[in-house]
Structure 1
Amino acid sequence: MMWVYNLLDILSTIVEATIFYVITLCFCRTCRFQKIVSRLIPPAVFAIAVFIMSFFVDIGAYRIFVILALMIALTLICYKVSIHSAFIVMELAYLLIVPLSEATGISVMSLLYQGDTMTQVDGVSILKWQIYVFVILLKALYAVIVYRLLKNFKYEIQAKDTAVLSVSFVLVFAVSFASTYGYLNLGESNTLILDLVTSVLSVVFIVQFLYSRNVSYLREQEQQDKVQIAQLQQQYAYYQGKLKDEERIRSIYHDMKNHLLVMESRQNTEETRQMAETLRSQIADYENYVHTGNEFLDIILKDKAEKAREKNIDFSAFIDFSGVDFIEPLDISTLFGNGIDNAIEASEKLPEEQRVILVKAGKVQDFVSILIENNCSDEVHTEGHTTKADKFLHGFGISNMKKAAEKYGGTCTTTQANGKFTLKILLPLPAGKAVD
């Protein structure tokens, strides 16, 4: 019958190593060695160490200290992480392996069996095999739950948060070690009170950890927002500078035309014809200048149209923003600047004959409608996302555009079909500005 318990010990060790693997998978993103090596060494060495201490080296409850030190060392050796991150890995792994699994499992089964948890196997007093199985199932369940909750965890828990968590961990560890020491070293079977206290303290630790995780997420989001605001302000300053340049150029535009007339009236030589042609080409952009009714938007469109021409993109804009004066310049820059930049970025990936961008905007009944349309690739990635949906849609300012639209009570939607990507923005007109 003892062979059954040995088999259960081996199974339990495998599940514990899996828990350690899952925790490192969620928290340790940068490997020191080849990915497969860094991922497999920690759980493999952990399992071997636990196996040796279970069957060949009997040090009782003191094995816990060896396991804790081993988890920290393996994490630091195989991954490029901070020391406090390695402590988080160790604390969570230990919590799932011992307090939340063993202490909770034994407490539940002790209540179920009314304290009769021990049995005799080959003259040795040992926990009933049903309790072993229940604890192993709990460990496997916790491994699945933790992976589902933390697989996308990308935020660094700071050292001060780790210090607070470590205080809670020390409390859990102290009570848990007392229970384990009583069972393994002193042969005590009635550790129900200690196990219950351990379970409660473990739950407290988990709550604190989840709180720290949320704080880290909010801190990261705040930092991202600051970066985005700085980028938008930089973009706004750029277009303000461009607007001043355009005003200066417009002020000499008519003078340039007069100079051109004088040159053409002079002696008709090849030199004067060449100079006149050069001047005409230089002012051609201003002859075809897009007038939207909003000077700031005019500058943005001119800048983007020049960029599109440089990349051999057919760029067309049909915009009437006359009377649309409720949108702040910074938000105009966000909505049009980001939207057209995205379209240019996507068009560059296409053959030149397919590079087409259309921008339409104006009042439509009680709304301001903005439409930006471009051809795009329908290539599907291995994750099941299209090129646009994966990189373009999520990586180049769509979130900022949505925030700007929501600021005015509007919406920002995207669709992709038949090789075209369409961005649609609808902003409700303020009272008194609706189109009859």
Structure 2
Amino acid sequence: MTLTILLFFTFFIEAIILWQYASSLFLPSHSVRIRWILLSTLYTMLFLLSLFRQTKLNIICFFIANTIFLYTQFKLKLLFALFHSAILTTIMGLSELAVLGITLKFSPYFLTDKGVGLIFYAVFSKLFFFAIIYLLAHLFKGKNTNQRPYYHSELFLMLIPILSVFIMYTFLFIGENAAIAPPVNFMVTACAIFLLLINLLVFGLNQYLQKKYNDFIDMQLLLQKESDSVEYYEMLLSQNENQRILIHDIKKHLLSIKLLNEQNCSEKIDIYIQQLMKSSDLRETVRICDNEMLNAILCRYQRQCNDKHIAFHADIRSNTLQHIYQHDITSLFCNLMDNAVEAAENIPESFIELTVQKKENSNFIVIIVINSCQSAPLYNQNGFPISRKVNKERHGFGIKSINKIVQQYQGNLEMYYDITSGTFHTLITLKTLK
């Protein structure tokens, strides 16, 4: 019974080490949930096979299981998956042999104790395995740029597994050269197990904090982008206002031209007219809706659609967005249109339809976006599409921003793909403040 529990503990630790190694080096191709399910399934099978006490079979299956996990769950070619699986298998075997040799040299009769001795050996070998794998992962990580960001501050964490191995050597030396009572012997073994768990928890926490830090940086960049977009559209509104002022003053300009004409100053008239024609205030504006900010946004995306040969249709009912903040309008519709244009691009006879209307006898606004889409997207656990871009962890914040605004206005967000028509549908309801 003790040996079975020890085997289960050993495979559990090896699974965590594999997870740490792969997550620190490679970009995942599936969600965390799928990776955990597959890893748990593979290592449960390894544990059951280990009960038959066939060492060669266990080594071969360990190699195959690691290869399957790396190849299917991360963006790796088969040869690279085989290479890294071979490294893990080799180091795992060598770490157990090294610890076995050291233990037999310092304490030849230590392993005869099938209780404390085997537990101490298992913990020691897995800690040694973890230390080597962590150092090797950082060696690969520092040389390869096509993976997760590399932080030099992580080098200081290498001291933890190295010092832990030294502490294990100290425990072994004390146990060999001093008489230890059974309760103390048990406490030393428990300390060894806790030491291994502390190592795993520290590096797991470090990885979690790095992910949160990267998410925070990406969110800050998104907010900066939204802030720049607001400033851009406010500038367009200012330009439209200047255009109205210029049109209002056109009579004065005509009067000035008339006076120059009476003085027979044709050259001055020509220069005067050229200056007016080059003025940005005279550029033509398109009226799509009565909301100035949204009108400026949609004019920009209408030009993008024309350049990309995407048919663009918009039906924005009057007085529907007057109770939505300007920065929320910018963030919401820019992200919606960015996603729609990206999906409809390079599709023959593609189109984007945008409808904004208010439900009768209610304070809810309904926003519907229908756009051409070549294939059905993959969805996450929240029912939102997953980005198809290479680095998924660095993208997908547009949908998060849309959902944040929907939640802010106590609304609802629904996205689905219609296979029959080859279109992607986004339905949003927002509750207005008034």
Instruction: Calculate the TM-score normalised by the size of structure 1.
Output: 0.58
C-alpha deviation, 1:205, in angstroms: 5.2
Kindly indicate whether residue 312 of structure 2 is the aligned counterpart of residue 315 of structure 1. yes
Deviations 1:291-346 (A, max 9, x none): 42211111111111111111111111110241632211111111112111211111
For these two proteins, the number of residue pairs brought into alignment is 326
> Paired residue for 1:234?
228
> Paired residue for 1:401?
402
C-alpha deviation, 1:290, in angstroms: 2.7
Query: Over aligned residue pairs, what C-alpha RMSD do you find?
Result: 5.0
> Paired residue for 1:359?
354
Give the alignment partner of residue 42 of structure 1, picking from 66, 74, 87.
87
> Paired residue for 2:344?
347
* Equivalent residues in 2 for 1:35-434, closer than 5 Å: 35-36=80-81, 39-40=84-85, 42-47=87-92, 49-50=94-95, 53=98, 59-60=105-106, 70-71=132-133, 74-80=136-142, 159=153, 170=163, 176-181=168-173, 190=182, 191-203=185-197, 208-209=202-203, 211-252=205-246, 286=284, 289-322=286-319, 324-351=321-348, 353=349, 355-364=350-359, 365-378=362-375, 389-391=386-388, 395=396, 397-418=398-419, 419-431=422-434
Consecutive unaligned residues in structure 2, runs of 5 or more = 28-74, 108-120, 255-276
Using the alignment, how far apart are the partners of 2:311 and 2:76 within structure 1? 47
Kindly indicate whether residue 24 of structure 2 is the aligned counterpart of residue 24 of structure 1. no
Using the alignment, how far apart are the partners of 2:313 and 2:354 within structure 1? 6
Using the alignment, how far apart are the partners of 2:132 and 2:406 within structure 1? 52
Matched-pair contact (CA < 8 Å) for 1:157–1:212: no
Identity of aligned residues (%): 17
Instruction: Calculate the TM-score normalised by the size of structure 2.
Output: 0.59
Runs of 4+ in 1 over 6 A off after TM superposition: 9-19, 30-34, 54-57, 61-69, 153-158, 184-189, 282-285
C-alpha deviation, 1:49, in angstroms: 3.0
Using the alignment, how far apart are the partners of 2:377 and 2:288 within structure 1? 39
Using the alignment, how far apart are the partners of 2:208 and 2:238 within structure 1? 45
Using the alignment, how far apart are the partners of 1:56 and 1:211 within structure 2? 33
C-alpha deviation, 1:180, in angstroms: 3.4
AA at the equivalent of 2:169: F
Matched-pair contact (CA < 8 Å) for 1:316–1:357: yes
AA at the equivalent of 2:212: L
Matched-pair contact (CA < 8 Å) for 1:373–1:423: yes
Matched-pair contact (CA < 8 Å) for 1:415–1:421: yes
| SS of corresponding position for 2:142 | coil
| SS of corresponding position for 2:225 | helix
The 10-residue stretch of structure 1 (410-419 or 35-44) with the greater mean CA deviation from structure 2: 35-44
Using the alignment, how far apart are the partners of 1:70 and 1:168 within structure 2? 8
